[in-house]
Structure formats: structure tokens, C-alpha cells
A and B are shown apart, each in its own frame.
Chain A
Amino acid sequence: MTAQHHDGGHDPNLAHHFESMDQQRQSTKLGMWLFLATEILFFGGLFVFYTVYRGNHPEIFVFGAHFLDTALGALNTVVLIFSSFTIAWAVRAAQLKQIKLLKWLIIATMLCAFTFMGVKYVEYSAKWKHGLLWAGSYNPHLDHEETHDVVAVEGEVHTAEADVEIVEIDEVQHVAEGEFVEPIVTEVAIEPVAEVADSDRSTIAPAAEGPGGLATPEAVVAEDVMPVEPANARIFFSIYFMMTGLHGIHVLAGIAIMFWLLHCLRRGDFDTGHFTKIDMLALYWHVVDIIWIYLFLLLYLID
């Protein structure tokens, strides 16, 4: 602590209990880094879940990843990396007191964030449409394109591992009554979905290969790669929604902070070259970005 007595004329941004702007900046920065450490640990819990479940049941992840749209995920990755660039530039602009540039860079970052959330919305609604939700609401149903995936045996439908999977979907009755549903490993008739009336959809059990969601037909047709639905595939979607959902909340928080920064900018907070607020948001934003990159790798690019 240097003991310089700041009598008058000091920076209005300097709080009374600090000796110098430098001490204040250093303190804020250390605080921010510690906060980011807690953020990483917060997500770290989910990454541990991921590791444990993937270590024990890799097949769930191989299966589940087929339903994520790699193209959209990649688009979002690019968008976020670009926004990291704009916000880093914004810090530089704030240091150089380029207020107008600073404003546009914050706006550009916000646009990226909105784009990200928009793409996320498209992805989520596709999952919603296909019933590819977290375990408790997991109820996959079919799309017209995936007709060839339907595996039906005279109204009674089995997957290769129907014993567990069927429980929550259509065969609840059977299982509840203690009827043993024999896993079927022999070939089964494939019926085109066109012949399934809408009202009959609910009687269709999960397909052996599952619905494709927004995935490209090529990926789905690769029957040698595409495994049959393993037991507890639903857990993949629980992890997917928890991780991307929590990340999405962080993106929304970032957007809110950027609105506030624009307000600060209009108020003239940055006219003096006081860039700490921008710097802190930038650090936060980089962490949000990095977490997404890991999510993209770990959820979308399995195979």
C-alpha cells in the first residue's frame, strides 16, 4: 500500500478505501478472476457428471451425439469466438478512449450473443419437437424423413434393448404388469412412416436408430455407424440440456451486463479512460466462450 494522500483532483472512480487507481484495479481484477474460478468449478461439476457417465456408458454419448446438429454447433462456435474478438477489441478501445468505436464493439458483441441464442432456440425447438428432452420428459417420436428408421413388429415395438427403454414410453403397461419384454435381436419389419396415421404415432416406440432431429440424412443413413438406442440414452439429453442450458443463462447474463455497459457509456463513465468495467465483462465473456468450446467438442463432436 503506498501512502500517497490523494487530496482533491483524483479520479472520481477511485473509491475512498483505496490508495490508488492501480490498487483498485488490481483488487477488482483479482476478485473477478476468483469469481471466474468459481464459475469454472460450477460448470466443473457438470463436466464431472459428463466424465462419469461417459466413462461408464460411452454408447449413450455416441448415440445421443447423432441428434445434435454439428453445423449449427459449429456456427455458434464461430459466432462466439468472433464475439470474444470484438469484446477484446472493445477493451483496447476503452483504454484508448475511442468511445464511439467502443460503443459499436459492444453492440457487435451483443449481436453475436443474440445470434448465439437464436441458433440455440432453433436447436432447442427441434429437440422439443422430437421429444428429445431430459430424462424425465424424454419421449422421442418420429419425423417424416426418418421413415426407414421405424422398427415395428405388429403394433408391438421393441428396440434391441427394449427391456429398459420402453418403460416410459408406450409399453409402460406391460412393464408395470411385470410382463417381461424380451429383447429382440432378430430382424424386424421396417414400415414406412407414411403408413402410420398421426393418431398412431404415440404407439410407436423409440426407433432402433432413433429419430434424426435436424441431423443430416446422411448421418442417419449410415447404418453401420449408427448404433441401436442403448439403455438410458435419455441421460445424454439430460446432460445436454443442463450444460447448454446453464451456459445459455450465462450468455443471457452477459447480454444484460452489456446493456448496462452501454448505459454506463452514455453516462460518460469511460470518458476518462476508466476501462475496468469493460475489462471485467471481457474476462467473463471469454470464459463463457471457452466453456462453449468445450461443450461443442464434448457434446457435438463425438465419433
Chain B
Amino acid sequence: MAVDTLAADGAAVGNPNRANYLNTGSGVLSWLFTLDHKRIGVMYLVAITTSFFLGGVFALLVRTELLTSGPTIMTADTYNRMFTLHGAVMIFLFIIPGIPAAIGNFVLPLMLGAKDVALPRLNLTSFWFWMIGATFALVSIIVGAVDTGWTFYTPYSTTTGTAVITMALGVFILGFSSIFTGLNFIVTIHKMRPEGMTWFKMPLFLWGLYSTAIIQVLATPILGITLLLLVAERALGVGIFDPTLGGDPVLFQHFFWFYSHPAVYIMILPAMGIISELVSVFSGKHIFGYKFIAWSSIAIALLSFLVWGHHMFTSGQSGITNMIFSALTFSVAIPSAVKVFNWLATMYKGSIRLATPMLYVLSFLFLFAIGGLTGLFLGALSVDIHLHDTYFVVAHFHYVMFGGTVIAFLGGLHYWWPKMFGRMYSEKWGQVSALLIFVGFNLTFFTQFVMGSHGMPRRYYNYVEEFTTLNQASTIGSYVLALGFFIMAGYLVHSLFRGKPAPSNPWGSATLEWETLSPPVAHNFDHDFLAGDPYDIDSLEYDPATQGWVRKDPQSIILPEGGTG
């Protein structure tokens, strides 16, 4: 796309059937062997959405079982498998690759004004590894599933008769997929930034992806070796985790959480990056405290490696170890709060547009605040002894993971949807579904805070009478949540075929991905950029003809032929 075309024919609302990345090459093979980051991103989007659906079905089955105490729709053994599969599928197949691999893959090179990620073949390899890992996970489900919980704690995971080896191998392979994506993003951000885009002129979503990638590269290998040892334990009996052979099962917990706690930040950091983009655009204001938000992402990434022990306060760690981990855990609250305050300050006195993506931003702020603060309850040693392994923990991490990551993912999906597919979705239904998801979510999980603080343990098949009302409210909440997603699936699919063609820049954002057509052409851009401030929203004006936003001075961001030296 050349900017002069944009100026000349108002380009942006174009014919969605003109040449673009979606119709360059057709047939399944042109997708499966593509090196185009946009197509890989879309394939990831389809893949993780499918996983989310699957994980959601498992969740609904779990909640339905808990509608009454005692058997409702399944046996206790089936129930154990269901909550394990819900956790494993949601975490390893959906939420870890979710934002980076689907949205990040699509958006990152565009934000850099680049033609692709630095290592496109590795990018495709990452997707293929995801597919292979997912296949292993599916096979494991078919041959008997896993009933260990998604944490695979030893010694139970080395003795249970279920398909732990297949599932662990699946997760091991998915780990490589995650490493490759992270590695690629680090290289791309280091080496492919356009002229003028210094580190502190990068869009904050890129800071989010960058700090995520650091964790993906540095933490995932530890999960790899841990799962490999678990497989070796079951297949050969290496005994490293088996006390009867002289091994140490608690060491497994250390290793598992050395990855899996940072993994929580793999999930939340890109989400925070999305919120940073959206809050500025939909408040019509420059982001407040750019450097604080950028540095706090890095701070969270580094601190994430130092807090794994807070999962093991009741595993027999020494008192002094517990105290150190507790203190470090509290310190994570500082950069997290720095972000929240800066987002609020960005909204302050802004002209806020309550479009669907912004509704998700507001949901995020509300839910993440609850999720984050309840994390402090759990980080406090004495309180944790009471709350450990109760529904309070379940509610806490769903507020962070669902209320944080998934909500931000949905916000980002709605924000970039017009760019990805060149069509607008129904704003009205978007808002209805956002509201249903917010209400359903709170009904599902706030009740679990109450149950947990009253002592209902997690992962139990039965409960005492006094928890009946709260459990039923939670289950009904999960149905409302499902209805919200059902509506979303409906209007998003509808928009693909009947949606209004999207302008190049429907929201008035100043980042570079909006400088190409919607959907972008296969090679993204026709010229190189001279990047400016990504939050300089005042450089844009609304163009009623295209119902999109255009730059007041289009030439200002174009790199003159030959560069600036």
C-alpha cells in the first residue's frame, strides 16, 4: 500500500476481495506451509480458539457435576480427569500460546513496519510443534486421559495408571513451540525495528511481548527437562522423584514451579501490553507513564523467576525460605500496581469511547485488581496455610488468568479483528457479549472466593450441604459465561461474511499496523518507515468518508528513499 493511494481514493475502505494476505494463495497447503506471519497468526488463532472451546467444555462439565453434592453427571474418576484436562488444555494449549502466538504473531511485525518476523521458518516450525504437541495431548485424552491435575505432582503422577507419558510428552513439545515463538520475537524486536523506533519509542505491546519472550526462553527449558525426567521416571524408573528409589518428590515441585510460576507471567504480560495499547486509543490520550509501564514489564519478568516457592509454603520448606519467598511475592505487586495506576492516569480526563475493546479494558482493570490483591492474601504465610488448596486459590488465579489474560485477549481480538479480516463486527452484540461475560465471570468465581475462605477444598468431587447455594450460583454463572461466548462466536463468524468492510484505521491508533490496508497485503508495506511516537494520537484525524482515521501529514512517518543515514 502506498500512502498516496490512501490519500487518492480513500483507499482504506476497500473492497475486501482485493489482493490481500488471505487470498494470496489458496488451498489448505498454502496455509500449512506458509511463512507469512499473518497466516501463521491466523492459524494459531483458529488452533487456540478450538482449544479454548475444548477446555471450556471440560470446565462446564466440571461445574455441572458440582451442581449437586454427590454424583450428578459423572463418576469421581471421570471428574478427576475432567478438571485435569480443563487445566492442562487451557494452560498449555490455549493461554500460554494465546496472546503471543496468535495476536502477537499477527501484530508484532506490523507494529515494526516490517515484512515478517526475523525467522519465518522457525515461526512455522513453532506452529507445527504446537500441532504435534496438541496431537499428543488429544491422544492422551483418547487413551484414558490424565487425572493428576495439570501440575503432574509426583509421586502420584508416577504411579497413576492414566496416560501421563503421552500428556507430558505433548506438553514437552508444546514447550518447544513456545520457546521458538519467544526466541523469534526477541530477535525480531532487536534486529527489525524501523528507523526512528528506539527502545523507548516501541509500542508497549511490544514491551509486553518482549518481556514475555524472555520468560519463554529462560523458563520453558526447565519445564522441558522436568517433564522429560517425569517421562523417564514412568518409562524407566530413573528414581529422581521417587522416594522408594532414593529420589525426592518435592524437588519435582520446585522444578515444576520454577517454570510454571514464570509461566503465569507469560500469560499476563502480553495481556498487560494489550491493555496499554487499548487504554490510550480509547481514552483519546497519550499513554501516561510510558517508561514506567515499559520497565515494570521487565521488572515483572525478572521477579517472576524468584517467587516459585510461594506455591510450596505447605510442602515443608524451611521457615526462612518461606519468609523470603513471601517477601519477594509481595514485591511483584509493585510493578503490577505501577501499571494499573498508569492506566488509570491515562484514562483520567480522557474522552473515553466505550467501544467493545474498551469494555474489556474496564473489565480487566476491575477483575485484575481483585485477582492481584487476593494474590497478596495468598502470599502472606499465615493466611496461606488456611487458604492453601481451597477454592480461594481457584478463584484467585481465575481472576488473574481469565479476568486478566482472557479478557485482555478478547479486548485485543476485537481491537485487531478489523485489521485481521477486513470486516467490522456488530458493535451492539459485542457489547452485549462483553457484559454477559463480565457478569457471568463474577458470578462464577466470586462465589468461589467465599467458598474457599469458608474452607471448601479445590478439586473435590463432593461438598457439604452448606456450600450448595454458592456452588449452584457458580455453576449458573458459568452458563452465563458460556452464553456470552456463544454470542461472541456468532457475531464474529457473521462479521467474516457479512461484516461492514473495515477502514485501515477504524479506532484512531497511531501505531504502524494501522498504516496498511485491512486486511493487509501479503508483504505488509510498500515502503520503510520513519517511526515516531506510537501514542501521538493527535497526529490523526477522523475521515467521515471512510469512517476511519487518517494521518494529518502522511509523509511524516515515511522514510525518504535512501534512509536518513
Contacts and interface: CB of A to CB of B under 8 A. Distances in A.
Contacts of B237: 134-137
Contacts of B183: 31, 34-35, 38
Interface stretch (B100-108, B110-118, B162-170, B374-382): B110-118
B1 interface: no
B525 to A, nearest CB: 11
A16 B246 CA distance: 55
B316 interface: no
A232 B246 contact: yes
A27 interface: yes
Interface string A10-43: 0000011110000100111011001101110111
B191 A231 contact: no
A27 B191 CA distance: 6
A242 B193 CA distance: 42
A30 B186 contact: yes
Given A3-B563, A17-B115, A242 B242 contact: no
B116 A241 contact: no
A21 B217 CA distance: 26
Nearest to B192: A1
Nearest to B188: A27
A46 B229 CA distance: 9
A186 interface: no
Given A26-B191, A42-B225, A134-B237, A37 B217 contact: yes
- Residue among A1, A15, A34 with max Cβ neighbours from chain B (10 Å): A1
Contact of A134 (B188, B221, B238): B238
Interface residues of A, number: 44
A34 B186 contact: yes
Contacts of A4: 562-563
Interface residues of B, number: 50
Interface in A232-266: 232, 234-235, 238-239, 241-242, 246
Nearest to A48: B255
B191 A135 contact: no
A179 B375 CA distance: 50
A27 B118 contact: yes
B251 A3 contact: no
Interface in B108-147: 109, 114-120, 122
B189 to A, nearest CB: 10
Nearest to B527: A3
Interface string A109-149: 00000000000000000000000001111000000000000
Contact of A30 (B191, B229, B232, B255): B191
B561 interface: yes
Given A30-B191, A135-B238, A238-B239, A38 B220 contact: yes
B389 interface: no
A57 to B, nearest CB: 8
A44 interface: yes
Nearest to B559: A3
23 contacts: A3-B561, A17-B192, A27-B191, A30-B187, A31-B118, A34-B186, A34-B187, A35-B183, A37-B217, A38-B179, A42-B224, A43-B225, A48-B255, A52-B248, A134-B238, A134-B239, A136-B236, A137-B236, A234-B239, A234-B246, A242-B229, A242-B232, A242-B240
Interface of B: 109, 114-120, 122, 179, 183-184, 186-188, 190-195, 217-218, 220-222, 224-226, 228-229, 232, 236-240, 242, 245-248, 251, 255, 523, 528, 559, 561-563
Given A42-B222, A43-B225, A135-B247, 6 more contacts: A3-B528, A27-B119, A27-B187, A31-B187, A234-B239, A241-B238
